[in-house]
A and B are shown apart, each in its own frame.
Chain A
Amino acid sequence: MCVPPGHMCVSPVVCVSPPVVCVCPRSCVCLPGRVCVPGHVCVSPSPSFHPPRDNPGAASSGQPRSRPLSAPSLFRTLLFSPGFPPPLPKPSFPAVRPSPLSLPSLVPLFSAPPFSPASPLLSQTPHSPPRCSSLSPLPSLSPPSPPSPRSRPPPSPRRCPISAPVAGRCAVFLFWVEVEAGADAAAAPGGGRGSGSPDRPGPRAPRRPRAGPAMRREMNGVTKSRFEMFSNNDEAAINKKLPKELLLRIFSFLDVVTLCRCAQVSRAWNVLALDGSNWQRIDLFDFQRDIEGRVVENISKRCGGFLRKLSLRGCQGVGDNALRTFAQNCRNIEVLNLNGCTKITDATCTSLSKFCSKLRHLDLASCTSITNLSLKALSEGCPLLEQLIISWCDQVTKDGIQALVRGCGGLRALSLKGCTQLEDEALKFIGAHCPELVTLNLQTCLQITDDGLITICRGCHKLQSLCASGCSNITDAILNALGQNCPRLRILEVARCSQLTDVGFTTLARNCHELEKMDLEECVQITDSTLIQLSIHCPRLQVLSLSHCELITDDGIRHLGNGAYAHDRLEVIELDNCPLITDASLEHLKSCHSLERIELYDCQQITRAGIKRLRTHLPNIKVHAYFAPVTPPPSVGGSRQRFCRCCIIL
């Protein structure tokens, strides 16, 4: 809710008399129960600066988010309100990541908290460009001489009175920020910001009145230890007891929402929470519906070279322009998730290629406007690419793949799910140029056949995860090829590949001993023989789906369940739609202590009693089964007249 001007917070913790007036950074919203630092002067901006407040949705972490959190308003105001510091100048920072614990990184990446124009002592926020603070050593700090309040110009009458000691502390705080800005004179923009220069230019933004020149002159050259600044007697105990490094360390674990809230607690926390080291990874998935291009642009300007991981999953409002700005500002980005950002086109990949050469992971799933041009751009500009997801980008053809793999030879994970135009030719390029490939997903790439996959196996010996579900053309030849070339295979999904038989799986099992998860749904030709081979040769088998494997019998399950390793390893087994499976199978599985889940729906011969018996051995097991309620028998004798439902309804 908007805080009315002149609002007086009475903090239960640090309450002093007379009741102090709180200062919130202008874009903050007073949170109930928040601790006010005495002398904190609260000046609420005019209501027009406050975006409409969202409904506080019931958002607890870990649940599927069905609506944005109430935090978007916080988040938005903090980062996007028009009153925020002007955009940072062209960054001239070296591309080195600051360590969160290094002292110099405490220098705020962002400008100092925006101060209300009403308070006369709050000087203009200095232009702190994004800098790798760890490179510039702190200026040697000699013990300060405290600024005498009397040399300050008298506060002009504004909305809230500020007591002299309060003003002194504010001034000191600001001074500290000013010193830091000056220390990095090289990166400081606007000229004339070097430390020690007495004549500073006038206010850069008319909204922010500068502190009087007298004060500034006095400050220049007078250093004050940062620690002393923070160890004021009036500071909250937490800031006194907890070194800033630890506070920063704690902040580094927080998510965006909590960081924004911390930034509103006090000026000290504002600085620390907004320190660039805490904004190296941002996940906006929870805000997805609120995110427009402008948001992304602002974030990129705030975080600059510090941002390494950004997730815009589901942010359908983000377009090429915003991402271009983002790419220009955040050149150190390594992990970018644009899953579901349906508006973006090839222009985004061109921007990324031009500016973000450090990109390692890129997720473009469902960005259906992406074409081969994007892949060509990425191959030219992002040679470090290790993981690329272009699932459902169905305009991609083999030309794009060819260009991609030629430039990005270090690809480890490639998801081409739903890229239905790809055929064997495309796979041949992958097999030829991606020796490091570990994960490959070709789900529903209907055109591919054995030839293409065999070339992949021959070229990618490190393959660990392969999904070819829905590629119904493949035969045992591919299982042979996997067995011969990819001994490290752990995950195999071949659902609906109904041409596969026991022969292929035998070869596979005998060579790939590391198999952990197998999806054999609708591999209708396989029999118990496959299960026997798996139980002998694949000790690490954890998840096995035999859904619709109609020929599987209890005997195969017996072998599986008796395998020496199954007792400790097998976690999930899916036997749904296997008509020959009976309660005997459940008996065979009773000693698999790690079994967490068993799927038994559509198995006509499984009974409730059998499941109950299984539960006595494996009490924690989840049984996925459904028994339709039995039709009630017709009443005998004393026939009351019964209306059928149709009659009732009609």
Chain B
Amino acid sequence: PPLGTRSSPHQDLHHLPGVYLPRSHRTYSCVHCRAHLARHEELISKSFQGSHGRAYLFNSVVNVGCGPAEQRLLLTGLHSVADIFCQSCKTTLGWKYEQAFESSQKYKEGKFIIEMSHMVKENGWD
């Protein structure tokens, strides 16, 4: 499985080399440094809202580090989220749902939000 993030804060993930996803299909990369972030197969939904516009929900991501968890009141209710950042350029990309306090939102736990403004889609067709 692709490298996910750990939920404990201050985890030192810097020693891990950059993960490259297989080129066969569409990948989403960090627009700032082109580190691979997620495979298209891990995409769950495109209809999320981040703080700067649309955001995608992914089942798992790679090359991403996790900050400490904190509670935030989102549109969908109270959640415990941890900001995630690109490991190679340290840009904050979105967040990870650590915990959802409403049962209808439980399915998001452990999944990742990445804002579209930080991503570039690569079809891999050429």
Residues of chain A at the chain B interface (Cβ within 8 Å)? 63-68, 285, 288-289, 314, 340, 365-366, 392, 413, 415, 418, 439, 441, 443-444, 465, 467, 469, 491, 493, 495, 517, 519, 543, 547-548, 576-577, 601-602, 624, 626, 628-629, 631-632, 644-646, 649
Q: Choose among A314, A543, A576, A645 the residue with the greatest number of B CB atoms under 10 Å from its CB.
A: A645
| Distance A415 CA – B126 CA, assembled complex (angstroms) | 10
Contact A519 B123 (CB under 8 A): yes
Looking at the complex, which one of B19, B22, B101 makes contact with A644 (CB distance below 8 Å)?
B101
| Distance A444 CA – B122 CA, assembled complex (angstroms) | 11
Contact A439 B103 (CB under 8 A): no
Q: Choose among A68, A418, A495, A628 the residue with the greatest number of B CB atoms under 10 Å from its CB.
A: A628
| Distance A263 CA – B103 CA, assembled complex (angstroms) | 61
Residue of A with least CB distance to B63: A66
Given contacts A439-B126, A443-B120, A602-B46, contact A288 B17 (CB under 8 A): yes
Report if B11 contacts A (CB, 8 A). no
Contact B125 A66 (CB under 8 A): no
| Distance A467 CA – B99 CA, assembled complex (angstroms) | 40
Report if B104 contacts A (CB, 8 A). yes
Contact B106 A629 (CB under 8 A): yes
Contact A68 B17 (CB under 8 A): yes
Given contacts A288-B17, A444-B120, contact A465 B126 (CB under 8 A): yes
Given contacts A467-B126, A491-B126, contact A64 B20 (CB under 8 A): yes
Contact B78 A602 (CB under 8 A): no
Given contacts A441-B126, A444-B120, contact A66 B107 (CB under 8 A): no
Contact A626 B125 (CB under 8 A): no
Q: Choose among A66, A366, A439, A467 the residue with the greatest number of B CB atoms under 10 Å from its CB.
A: A66
Flag B105-125 by CB within 8 Å of A: 1 or 0 each: 011000000000000110101
Write the nearest CB–CB distance from B71 to chain A, whole angstroms.
9
Q: Choose among B2, B41, B120, B126 the residue with the greatest number of A CB atoms under 10 Å from its CB.
A: B126
Q: Which residues of A contact B99 (CB under 8 A)?
A: 645, 649
Contact B46 A601 (CB under 8 A): yes
Residue of B with least CB distance to A366: B34
Q: Which residues of A contact B107 (CB under 8 A)?
A: 628-629
Q: Which residues of B contact A649 (CB under 8 A)?
A: 99
Contact A601 B44 (CB under 8 A): yes
Contact B19 A493 (CB under 8 A): no
| Distance A396 CA – B79 CA, assembled complex (angstroms) | 44
Q: Which residues of B contact A491 (CB under 8 A)?
A: 125-126
Write the nearest CB–CB distance from A311 to chain B, whole angstroms.
12
Report if B3 contacts A (CB, 8 A). yes
Q: Which 10 A-B pairs have the closest CB atoms?
A: A631-B104, A628-B107, A626-B44, A465-B126, A289-B17, A629-B107, A66-B19, A602-B47, A645-B101, A366-B34
| Distance A632 CA – B44 CA, assembled complex (angstroms) | 21
Write the nearest CB–CB distance from A191 to chain B, whole angstroms.
47
Q: Which residues of B contact A629 (CB under 8 A)?
A: 106-107
Which residues, 14 to 68 on B, are CB-close (under 8 Å) to A? 16-22, 31, 33-34, 41, 43-47
11 A/B residue pairs, CB under 8 Å, sorted by A: A64-B21, A289-B17, A340-B34, A413-B126, A443-B120, A444-B31, A444-B120, A491-B125, A519-B125, A602-B46, A629-B106
Q: Which residues of A contact B103 (CB under 8 A)?
A: 631-632
Q: A441-B126, A602-B45 are in contact. List 8 more A-B contacts (CB 8 A).
A: A63-B22, A64-B2, A66-B17, A68-B17, A314-B20, A517-B125, A548-B46, A577-B46
Q: Which residues of A contact B18 (CB under 8 A)?
A: 314
Given contacts A469-B121, A631-B103, A646-B101, contact A64 B46 (CB under 8 A): no
| Distance A97 CA – B107 CA, assembled complex (angstroms) | 60
Contact B34 A547 (CB under 8 A): no
Q: Which residues of B contact A288 (CB under 8 A)?
A: 17
Write the nearest CB–CB distance from B22 to chain A, whole angstroms.
5
Residue of B with least CB distance to A289: B17
Write the nearest CB–CB distance from A572 to chain B, whole angstroms.
9
Given contacts A439-B126, A491-B125, A493-B123, contact A601 B16 (CB under 8 A): no
Contact B120 A65 (CB under 8 A): no
| Distance A314 CA – B19 CA, assembled complex (angstroms) | 10
Write the nearest CB–CB distance from B125 to chain A, whole angstroms.
5
Write the nearest CB–CB distance from B65 to chain A, whole angstroms.
15
Write the nearest CB–CB distance from B94 to chain A, whole angstroms.
18
| Distance A161 CA – B126 CA, assembled complex (angstroms) | 60
Write the nearest CB–CB distance from B26 to chain A, whole angstroms.
9
Q: Which residues of A contact B125 (CB under 8 A)?
A: 465, 467, 491, 493, 517, 519, 543
Write the nearest CB–CB distance from B95 to chain A, whole angstroms.
18
Residue of A with least CB distance to B78: A646
Q: Which residues of B contact A67 (CB under 8 A)?
A: 16-17
Q: Which residues of B contact A543 (CB under 8 A)?
A: 125
Contact B41 A66 (CB under 8 A): no
Write the nearest CB–CB distance from B56 to chain A, whole angstroms.
10
Q: Which residues of B contact A418 (CB under 8 A)?
A: 120
Contact A577 B47 (CB under 8 A): yes
